[in-house]
Structure 1
Amino acid sequence: MTHPPTRRVRPSQLHLRGAAALRRYRLFVTSDNLRTTAGTSTGDASRPWTDLASGYERARSREDSLDRLVEWPAQRELLGDVRGLSVLDAGCGNGDKVAQLVREGGAVASVGVDISDNFVTGRPPGLSLVEGDLSDLSAVPCLAGRQFDRILFLQSFGYARDPVHALHAAKTLLTDDGFILLTRTQPIRYAIERAEQNGTSLGEEYFSTGPYSYQHKDWNEQVTLTKRPYTMSDLLNIFSAAGLWIETTVEPQMREPARRRYPHKQAVLNKYLGILLFKLRPLPG
Structure 2
Amino acid sequence: MDSSQPWLELAPDYERARAKEDSLDRLVEWPAQRTVLGDVTGRSVLDVGCGNGGKVAELVRDGATDSVGVDISGNFPSAQLPGLELLQGDLSELESVPGLAGRTFDRILFLQSFGYAKDPVRTLQAARAMLADHGFILLTRTQPIRYALERAHKNGTSLGEEYFSTAQFSYATGWNDEITLSKRPYTVSDLINVFSAAGLYIESATEPQLSEDARLRYPHKQAWMDKYLGILIFKLRPHRNQ
User: What is the alpha-carbon distance in structure 1 between the residues aligned to residue 170 and residue 4 of structure 2?
Assistant: 16
User: What is the alpha-carbon distance in structure 2 between the residues aligned to residue 211 and residue 64 of structure 1?
Assistant: 30
Equivalent position to 1:265, from 197, 221, 227? 221
Question: Residues 83-232 of structure 1: matches in 2 within 5 Å?
Answer: 83-103=41-61, 105-216=62-173, 218-232=174-188
Cα offset, 1:161, TM superposition: 0.6
Runs of 4+ in 1 over 2 A off after TM superposition: 120-123
Please, what TM-score do these two structures have when normalized by structure 2? 0.98
Secondary structure, counterpart of 1:119 in structure 2 = coil
Partner of 1:7: none
User: What is the alpha-carbon distance in structure 2 between the residues aligned to residue 66 and residue 72 of structure 1?
Assistant: 9
CA contact (8 A) 1:96 1:120 kept: no
How many residue pairs end up in the alignment?
A: 241
Deviations 1:8-61 (A, max 9, x none): xxxxxxxxxxxxxxxxxxxxxxxxxxxxxxxxxx2x222111011011101100
Partner of 2:3: 45
User: What is the alpha-carbon distance in structure 2 between the residues aligned to residue 268 and residue 133 of structure 1?
Assistant: 31
Cα offset, 1:136, TM superposition: 2.4
Amino acid paired to 1:255: S
User: What is the alpha-carbon distance in structure 2 between the residues aligned to residue 274 and residue 56 of structure 1?
Assistant: 17
Equivalent position to 1:241, from 197, 213, 225? 197
User: What is the alpha-carbon distance in structure 1 between the residues aligned to residue 148 and residue 17 of structure 2?
Assistant: 23
For structure 1, list consecutive stretches of 5 or more residues without a partner in the other structure. 1-41
Matched, 1:64 2:26: no
Please, what TM-score do these two structures have when normalized by structure 1? 0.83
For structure 2, list consecutive stretches of 5 or more residues without a partner in the other structure. none
User: What is the alpha-carbon distance in structure 2 between the residues aligned to residue 128 and residue 110 of structure 1?
Assistant: 6
Give the fraction of aligned pairs with identical amino acids, expressed as a percent.
70
Secondary structure, counterpart of 1:142 in structure 2 = coil
Amino acid paired to 1:99: A
Amino acid paired to 1:120: P
CA contact (8 A) 1:111 1:128 kept: yes
Secondary structure, counterpart of 1:57 in structure 2 = helix
Cα offset, 1:121, TM superposition: 4.0
User: What is the alpha-carbon distance in structure 1 between the residues aligned to residue 181 and residue 233 of structure 2?
Assistant: 24
User: What is the alpha-carbon distance in structure 2 between the residues aligned to residue 170 and residue 228 of structure 1?
Assistant: 21
